[in-house]
Amino acid sequence: MKDHDKTDFDEKAATWDANSQRVKLANDVADAIIREMKPTRDMDALDYGCGSGLVTLRIQPHIRNITGIDSSKVMLEVIQAKVEKLGLINVRTQFVDFERGGKAVGMFHLIVSSMTFHHVNEPALLLRQLYDLLLPGGCLGIADLDKEDGSFHNDNTGVLHFGFERAYLKGLFGRTGLREVRDITAATVVKEIEGKGRQEFPVFLIIGRK
C-alpha cells in the first residue's frame, strides 16, 4: 500500500471495532472459516491482514497457535492489547508490508485472509506468498467482496479492486497449485447507498488445499 493508505488504517485502528457492521462481517466470515475449513487444536494458523484481530481471535480457541499479520503497526498494537487483556498465549503478530516487498515468516496448516485482497495491487503475487507459507495438505481461505461498482466503501482511498469475480480468483488458486478449490458465500453486507437505495454486497470465501 502507499503511505497514505497505511496511515489511514493507523488512524482508524483505535475505533475500528466500533463499527457494528464491520464486527458482524468479521464474525460471519470467521463462522464460515470454522465451519468450512475445520480448524483443529493441532494446527498452526495465519490470519493475513488481521487488522484489529476480529477474525483472528474468533479462530484462536480452535487452533494451537495463530499469527496475525498486518501492514499497520497501530492495528497490531490493538490486537496485542486484546491478547494481553485476555491473557492469551497462543496468539502472535508480525508486521509485514507486502506492498514494499515484506515477507511473512513461518509455516502453517491453515491460512486465512479476510477483506484484504482488494487492497493489494497484485493478488497473484500475494497468493503465491501465502501458498509458500502453507504446509503440505494445508488449507488456504480467502474472503473478499464479489465484484461491485465501487459503492461498498464510503471512501475508496487505498481500494485497488472493486471486489473480484470468483472465477478469476479460483483460477488463480488453481494456477498457484491449490487443489479442491471451492467457494461459498460467507456473508452478505447490506448498505444504504446514496442515490441507489439498499444494496447487497456478498462476501465470498474461496478455499483450496495444498
User: What is the side-by-side strand order in the sheet with 91-95?
Assistant: 91-95, 65-70, 44-48, 108-114, 134-145, 197-209, 179-193
Q: How many Å apart are CA 102 and CA 118, to the nearest integer?
A: 18
User: What pLDDT was estimated at residue 13?
Assistant: 63
Residues of the chain with pLDDT under 70: 1-7, 9-14, 16, 18
Q: DSSP readout, 151-188?
A: -SSS--TT---S-B-HHHHHHHHHHHT-EEEEEEEEEE
User: What pLDDT was estimated at residue 19?
Assistant: 76
User: What pLDDT was estimated at residue 1?
Assistant: 39
Q: How many Å apart are CA 194 and CA 5, to the nearest integer?
A: 24
User: What pLDDT was estimated at residue 14?
Assistant: 64
Is the Cβ–Cβ distance between 180 and 200 less than 8 Å?
no
User: What pLDDT was estimated at residue 10?
Assistant: 65
Give the start-end residues of each E strand in the chain: 44-48, 65-70, 91-95, 108-114, 134-145, 179-193, 197-209
pTM of the predicted protein model: 0.91
The residue to which cell 490493538 is assigned: 78
Is the Cβ–Cβ distance between 113 and 130 less than 8 Å?
yes
Enter the C-alpha cell of residue 68. Answer: 496475525
What structural domains does the chain harbor? 3-209 (3.40.50.150)
- Give me the percent of the chain exceeding a pLDDT of 70: 92
